[in-house]
Amino acid sequence: MSTYCTATVINHKEIVPGVWKMELAAPEIAKTARPGQFIQLYPPDERNLLARPISLSSISKMSVTIVYRVVGKGTKQFSCLQVDDMVHVMGPLGNGFTLLDAGTQNVIVGGGLGIPPLLELAKRLHGNTVVLLGYQDDPFMAEDFQRLGLEVHIASQSGNYGFHGNVLDMLKNITFPVGQIFACGPRQMLQSVSMWAKEHNVPIQVSLEERMACGLGACLGCGVKIQKHGEQDWRYLRVCKDGPVFSGEEVVWNG
Amino acid sequence: MSTYCTATVINHKEIVPGVWKMELAAPEIAKTARPGQFIQLYPPDERNLLARPISLSSISKMSVTIVYRVVGKGTKQFSCLQVDDMVHVMGPLGNGFTLLDAGTQNVIVGGGLGIPPLLELAKRLHGNTVVLLGYQDDPFMAEDFQRLGLEVHIASQSGNYGFHGNVLDMLKNITFPVGQIFACGPRQMLQSVSMWAKEHNVPIQVSLEERMACGLGACLGCGVKIQKHGEQDWRYLRVCKDGPVFSGEEVVWNG
Amino acid sequence: MDSRMETTIAGVTWKNPVTTASGTFGSGREYGELIDLNRLGAITVKGVSEEAWKGNPVPRLAETQSGLLNSIGLQNAGAELFIENDIPFLRQYDTKIIVNICGHTLSQYCAVAERFADCDIDMLELNISCPNVEEGGLSFGTDPHVVERVVKAVRHYVKQPLIVKLSPEVTDITEIARAAVSGGADALSLINTLRGMKIDIHKRKPILANKIGGYSGPGIMPVALRMAYEVCHSVDVPVIGMGGISTFEDALQFIMAGAEAVAVGTANFHNPYATVEIIDGIRQYMKENKISSLEEIRGCID
Amino acid sequence: MDSRMETTIAGVTWKNPVTTASGTFGSGREYGELIDLNRLGAITVKGVSEEAWKGNPVPRLAETQSGLLNSIGLQNAGAELFIENDIPFLRQYDTKIIVNICGHTLSQYCAVAERFADCDIDMLELNISCPNVEEGGLSFGTDPHVVERVVKAVRHYVKQPLIVKLSPEVTDITEIARAAVSGGADALSLINTLRGMKIDIHKRKPILANKIGGYSGPGIMPVALRMAYEVCHSVDVPVIGMGGISTFEDALQFIMAGAEAVAVGTANFHNPYATVEIIDGIRQYMKENKISSLEEIRGCID
Ligand SMILES: Cc1cc2nc3c(=O)[nH]c(=O)nc-3n(C[C@H](O)[C@H](O)[C@H](O)COP(=O)(O)OP(=O)(O)OC[C@H]3O[C@@H](n4cnc5c(N)ncnc54)[C@H](O)[C@@H]3O)c2cc1C
Ligand SMILES: Cc1cc2nc3c(=O)[nH]c(=O)nc-3n(C[C@H](O)[C@H](O)[C@H](O)COP(=O)(O)OP(=O)(O)OC[C@H]3O[C@@H](n4cnc5c(N)ncnc54)[C@H](O)[C@@H]3O)c2cc1C
Ligand SMILES: Cc1cc2nc3c(=O)[nH]c(=O)nc-3n(C[C@H](O)[C@H](O)[C@H](O)COP(=O)(O)O)c2cc1C
Ligand SMILES: Cc1cc2nc3c(=O)[nH]c(=O)nc-3n(C[C@H](O)[C@H](O)[C@H](O)COP(=O)(O)O)c2cc1C
Ligand code: FES
Ligand code: FES
């Protein structure tokens, strides 16, 4: 069950240049939210009709926390919100990650702004979890994962931080048998990690993005090409309702 | 010369229910403004493209004061402005009242929200000035005129305050010979006062309203039918540029 | 329930004059999580074709100032699955069911109409803005002769009251409206989207994969209202007005222009409670203005 | 001055690709109090007819969400007074002068064109959205045959390069564009306003005395951009794009769609500095993206 309500900003700060972390008091949403779900956040300037989908990064009893990058008009407006300001929000939305039984070797793979949605997942995963985080340059939130006591590896494209390269390279270097993968980040990254997973016969869940209008599954705006096992052909499923988390094998990447 | 600038709200309060008085720090505008001129005030919500024309009620060295009634979307937004908020404004605009030589018997006639624009005029008029103010019910700003030491008469349609009736009735009761009239208020009132003035051969200046887009005289949106002395026919003049103050005799009232 | 808001269109009585605009509300299931579907006068479902349509490539959505571009391309699972899943779902609610149908050829239109002839639905809405694949891809809805022909053909199969939904992309909307009526429309709905475009100046390409999409939302309302007004004054069948309606004030403008009912589309995305707020707003307006039936204000603009 | 922004349209070189939309900027005099008119690539003046036109009754303006309705009715003092007062005023500035002309009959169009033939102006813009009084009042601009005829007739009298300004209220804008070109247009400009309406639900009447007015502003931009794109891909003459342009990003979208230049209209009312901010914004964008001529991005959307 999702709700549409007004949430109050209770914490808001820029964690690295252009990337903001915002905590919203929204008990109704927090109550039922699961890792991998998202909210629709409505820009205060009503010339912008559409809400912006932003993943839940962490979930507490009364509030949810999101981490977002300022890329355009909507996120620019969010970054101007002050503590105690109110904002319209709908959620929790989407399917979230599927948490399997304990005892597996989990690998969490995050790239850039795909990292925040993985934090709540990391908290809740059973079994052993290794976290691979890739950045353009400046890392952020790595310490949040470390604080959970997990093994965290960092890569940066610039080579200024951690491993010089991308998460795929780090994944290839893993020596133990990977049980399952959870990935979120740029499409290119998700595709290459999914290819690797397929080759190695490892189940993988990926969280995808697409432009949204309703966020509820009604408008069919947010299509992603999915070919289910045993189906003849792909069809467009809805990122907002059937996703955002899909099996990496079922996504038709080249299209 | 008018300017387009950002002004700061330095005083703002509701003087009677639904009627607000706002002082704006706008030195550039204050410097050259004359009584009867107006400003264009831009609503903060940018879905409202057009500025709202509001008359200057009083003018000081660094600031201008306006008095407005909340009637729709724009004025509603103005009423939410707080002290220290900024607002876009253009002005001073229009011709303003023409101040003739001293030594006349002036009558100022104001109705409702036509009263505020007459205050600065009242301050600057030479000669003897009588002020007739008409209200639906609740009077406002009468004391501002009284404080200038002028003779002020009040009428209300409801009969709850002052004379029970309208300003025209009060005008008819004036015993001394009226030298000139300055009037602002509902069109119906301006028309009847202009008719009276014509009958009694008294020059009259009226301040008119019309919907505006540019406020500068460029779009011809704000037409008023004017027939100048000696012209064969009426034509549309611009309230924003040729007015808002016109000779009451030249206005084509029935059309 | 409040009989003062009852509205009868082509013999079907809605409890109030508010429905959803096709394609913006699915079949109601999703919005049903947030609002009580029993509140709606009718639910107009997304376009249904004879067979499944895959829809257009993504991105399919672009936000504009006070508007939205979409190029969904009428993705749908086809009439069969719709009849199986959606009609029983909708019938649980006390609201009228309007099925919006589409096709790329005359025979596809007829086939889907026939498919619904014996179904338990209240009205059929014919979307004539689809590209006419047999005749170069121009929309069916732009030529009065084609409009009359397609309406007549479909009419033959339809058993429910038939609403024809007009495309605004024409020189003279009244000509098209008359053609639809003479083809046998029991009611008209308008407007469908205008075609629009938006370009990403940084990527230097259109935002929509399809380049051009249907423009909806508050930005089209002045055009929609003008067209609804023109059509109400040129035909005798009831008109369902839509295009940018977001508030009860907007809805009342259409009713004063002569519309029998209104549909709410893009506004649902901006505010999922839009439909019920509009219904409540109209009721409140009627109360405050002592209006006992919408007839008192309907078409009051001459 | 910055030659990288120079734009040549039908042989006339503007210092930058930004002009004003006819009717929103008078003859520049009033805005000249606030901005430096020398900054503009060209000034397109308000519509001028052979004799004075009184214009429509007031109210003539209605604000809509992100848009404006106007029913000025082309009020103007006639060609003679314009030539006497406005041309000498404009010639003081280093900017091109484009005179927008209008008429209610073919012969009125020809008469006003002839009146300007020997005047010191740079281009003539023919507004074909006027009602054709001799043929039932429908706009000249909606029928390709009429468009070709009126352009050809006017062309005969005109000595300056001739821009034909298209009405968007047609089923297929490219058909009209081709008709204008085959009539002899040296350039096209588009779009003129869409017709729209707004109703005051408290007074229960339209806000405009004229009921219907021309809709402009950001709300029409998606349609304007799509039409500019379509026209740029169907004729070989340069196109001046307009309709809702308020920022340099908006202007660049039209240029990427293929427009040679752009005009800024309603945005002037919202921000009197709009034209110069757009010029500065384009320059800045070119600098940041190392673009040395607008040719590098013009029409980059295929
Ligand atoms: C399920 C989901 C979860 C997401 N989680 C996060 C997150 O946790 N942190 C984060 O920084 N970003 C996240 N995004 C991306 C985020 O939605 C966009 O960055 C944001 O919508 C941009 O809005 P804007 O107004 O600033 O940009 P503009 O470009 O001005 O937006 C214009 C329109 O495009 C849409 N849009 C633009 N980029 C995207 C995008 N990448 N995905 C979807 N819609 C887009 C906007 O929503 C809006 O409708 C997520 C996207 C999805 C689909
Ligand atoms: C020269 C001039 C001076 C004025 N001075 C004052 C004043 O000192 N105090 C005051 O309270 N009011 C004054 N008005 C009226 C004031 O401009 C309107 O009340 C105001 O524009 C309403 O805006 P809104 O957004 O609240 O109403 P809405 O109805 O939402 O406005 C919609 C549109 O209509 C226009 N509009 C609505 N009513 C009027 C009107 N009466 N005159 C002009 N445009 C209108 C608005 O500007 C806007 O463009 C003046 C008007 C003019 C022309
Ligand atoms: C995402 C989306 C999908 C649509 N799908 C359909 C459709 O399937 N059939 C149809 O007739 N109209 C469709 N429309 C048009 C709407 O029903 C409506 O006519 C139009 O959007 C104008 O109304 P609005 O401004 O309230 O949205 C769609 C509109 C949108 C925004
Ligand atoms: C108040 C007003 C007056 C206009 N007068 C004319 C005119 O005289 N001649 C003309 O060709 N177009 C006229 N137009 C149309 C504009 O030139 C322009 O085509 C249209 O407004 C779209 O651009 P915009 O959205 O930037 O305003 C007028 C528009 C407005 C708003
Ligand atoms: S955003 Fe509407 S279906 Fe996904
Ligand atoms: S408002 Fe534009 S001329 Fe007066």
Chains contacting chain D through 3 or more C-beta pairs under 8 A: B, C
Percentage, residues of chain D above pLDDT 70: 99
Q: What local confidence, expressed as pLDDT, does residue B103 receive?
A: 66
The distance of C251 to chain D (nearest Cα, Å) reads: 10
Query: Does the structure show a pLDDT above 70 at D127?
Result: yes
Residues of C in contact with A4 (CB under 8 A): 34, 271-273
Interchain contact B45–A (C-beta under 8 A): yes
Which residues share a beta bridge with D241?
D190, D262
Q: Tell me if C63 CB under 6 Å of ligand 1.
A: yes
Q: How confident is the model at residue A126 (pLDDT cuts 50, 70, 90)?
A: confident
Interchain contact C54–D (C-beta under 8 A): no
Percentage, residues of chain C above pLDDT 90: 95
- For residue B88, the surrounding DSSP H or E stretch is strand B86-93
C277 and C246 Cβ atoms separated by less than 8 Å: no
Closest CA to B169 of B156, B182, B187: B156
Q: In angstroms, what is the span from residue D267 Cα to ligand 6's centroid?
A: 14
Residue A214 CA: nearest ligand 5 atom is: 2
Q: Tell me the one-letter amino acid at C138.
A: L
Interchain contact C59–A (C-beta under 8 A): yes
Sheet containing B86-93, strands listed edge to edge, beginning at the edge strand earlier in sequence? B52-55, B38-41, B86-93, B3-16, B19-25, B63-69, B58-59
Residue carrying structure tokens 């070709």: D148
Residue-wise pLDDT tens digits, B134-181 = 999 999 999 999 999 999 999 999 889 989 989 998 998 888 888 999
Q: In angstroms, what is the span from residue A23 Cα to ligand 1's centroid?
A: 18
Average pLDDT score over residue span C123-140: 89
For chain D, the average pLDDT equals 96
Among D24, D72, D102, which residue has the most ligand 4 atoms within 8 Å of its CB, making it the best to mutate? D24
Residue A240 CA: nearest ligand 5 atom is: 4
Whose C-alpha lies nearest to ligand 4, atom 21? Answer: D216
The distance of B234 to chain D (nearest Cα, Å) reads: 9
Is residue D130 annotated as part of the catalytic site, yes or no? Answer: yes
Percentage, residues of chain A above pLDDT 90: 85
Residues of A in contact with B47 (CB under 8 A): 46-47
Query: Does the structure show a pLDDT above 70 at D54?
Result: yes
A237 and A210 Cβ atoms separated by less than 8 Å: no
CB contact under 8 A, A218 and C31: yes
Query: Does the structure show a pLDDT above 60 at C141?
Result: yes
Whole-model pTM over 0.80: yes
Q: What distances in angstroms separate CA D53 from CA C33, D1, D192, one per listed residue?
A: 58, 38, 19
Interchain contact D193–B (C-beta under 8 A): no
> Concatenated DSSP letters for B134-159?
EESSS--SHHHHHTTT-EEEEEETTS
Q: What local confidence, expressed as pLDDT, does residue C1 receive?
A: 55
Q: Tell me if A119 CB under 6 Å of ligand 1.
A: no
Cα separation, C60 vs C57, whole angstroms:
7
CB contact under 8 A, B219 and D24: yes
Residue-wise pLDDT tens digits, B115-124 = 999 999 999 9
Among C61, C216, C223, C278, which residue has the most ligand 3 atoms within 8 Å of its CB, making it the best to mutate? C216
Q: How confident is the model at residue C136 (pLDDT cuts 50, 70, 90)?
A: confident
Query: Does the structure show a pLDDT above 60 at D19?
Result: yes
Q: How confident is the model at residue D1 (pLDDT cuts 50, 70, 90)?
A: low
Residues of B in contact with D55 (CB under 8 A): 220, 223, 236
Q: Which one of the ligands is nearest to C268 CA?
A: 3
Residue-wise pLDDT tens digits, A164-176 = 989 998 898 888 8
Residue C125 CA: nearest ligand 3 atom is: 11
Q: What local confidence, expressed as pLDDT, does residue A102 receive?
A: 62
Query: Angle of helix D274-288 relative to helix D248-256, nearest 10 degrees?
Result: 60
Q: What local confidence, expressed as pLDDT, does residue C133 receive?
A: 82
Q: What local confidence, expressed as pLDDT, does residue A215 receive?
A: 98
Interchain contact B46–A (C-beta under 8 A): yes
Q: Tell me if D98 CB under 6 Å of ligand 4.
A: no
Cα separation, D183 vs D178, whole angstroms:
8
In chain D the first and final C-alpha atoms are separated, in Å, by 31
Q: In angstroms, what is the span from residue A112 Cα to ligand 5's centroid?
A: 24
> Concatenated DSSP letters for chain A?
--EEEEEEEEEEEEEETTEEEEEEE-HHHHHH--TT-EEEE--SSTT--SPEEEE--EE-SSEEEEEEE--SHHHHHHHT--TT-EEEEEEEES-------SS-EEEEEEEGGGSGGGHHHHHH--SEEEEEEEESSS--SHHHHHTTT-EEEEEETTSSSSEES-HHHHHHT--SPP-EEEEES-HHHHHHHHHHHHHTT--EEEE-----SSSSSSS--SEEEE--TT-SS-EEEETTTT-SEEETTTB----
| A102 vs A11, residue with greater confidence | A11
Q: How confident is the model at residue D9 (pLDDT cuts 50, 70, 90)?
A: very high
Q: How confident is the model at residue B35 (pLDDT cuts 50, 70, 90)?
A: very high
Percentage, residues of chain C above pLDDT 70: 99
Q: In angstroms, what is the span from residue B209 Cα to ligand 2's centroid?
A: 8
Query: Does the structure show a pLDDT above 60 at D285?
Result: yes
C211 and D300 Cβ atoms separated by less than 8 Å: no
Mutation site, A214, A226, A235, A251, interface C, largest C CB count within 10 A: A214
Q: What local confidence, expressed as pLDDT, does residue A165 receive?
A: 87
Interchain contact D273–B (C-beta under 8 A): yes
Q: Among all residues of chain A, which has the CA nearest to that of B44?
A: A45
Average pLDDT score over residue span D107-134: 95
Average pLDDT score over residue span A121-140: 93
Whose C-alpha lies nearest to ligand 3, atom 19? Answer: C192
Q: In angstroms, what is the span from residue C64 Cα to ligand 1's centroid?
A: 15
Residue-wise pLDDT tens digits, D55-75 = 999 999 999 999 999 999 999
Ligand 2 neighbours by CB, cut-off 6 Å: B 38, 50, 52-55, 66-69, 71-75, 113, 116-117, 209-212, 239, 244; D 63
Interchain contact A45–B (C-beta under 8 A): yes
Nearest to C219 among D67, D212, D253 (CB): D67
Query: Does the structure show a pLDDT above 70 at D130?
Result: yes
- For residue B21, the surrounding DSSP H or E stretch is strand B19-25
Residues of C in contact with D204 (CB under 8 A): 256, 297, 300-301
Q: Among all residues of chain A, which has the CA nearest to that of B47?
A: A47
Q: How confident is the model at residue A103 (pLDDT cuts 50, 70, 90)?
A: low
Percentage, residues of chain D above pLDDT 90: 95
Ligand 6 neighbours by CB, cut-off 6 Å: B 212-215, 217-222, 238, 240-241
Residue-wise pLDDT tens digits, C173-217 = 999 999 999 999 999 999 999 999 999 999 999 999 999 999 999
B161-175, B221-235, C281-295: least confident range: B161-175
Average pLDDT score over residue span A212-224: 98
Query: Does the structure show a pLDDT above 70 at A48?
Result: yes
Residue-wise pLDDT tens digits, C217-269 = 999 999 999 999 999 999 999 999 999 999 999 999 999 999 999 999 999 99
Mutation site, D226, D227, D294, interface C, largest C CB count within 10 A: D226
Q: How confident is the model at residue C135 (pLDDT cuts 50, 70, 90)?
A: confident
Q: What local confidence, expressed as pLDDT, does residue D136 receive?
A: 77
The distance of A45 to chain B (nearest Cα, Å) reads: 8
Q: In angstroms, what is the span from residue C212 Cα to ligand 5's centroid?
A: 19
Q: In angstroms, what is the span from residue A168 Cα to ligand 6's centroid?
A: 63
D213 and D62 Cβ atoms separated by less than 8 Å: yes
Residues of D in contact with B2 (CB under 8 A): 33-34
Q: Is C201 helix (H, G, I), strand (E, B) or coil?
A: coil
For chain A, the average pLDDT equals 95
Query: Does the structure show a pLDDT above 80 at B102?
Result: no
Interchain contact C194–D (C-beta under 8 A): yes
DSSP tag of D21? P
Average pLDDT score over residue span A142-160: 93
Average pLDDT score over residue span D258-278: 98
Q: How confident is the model at residue C3 (pLDDT cuts 50, 70, 90)?
A: confident
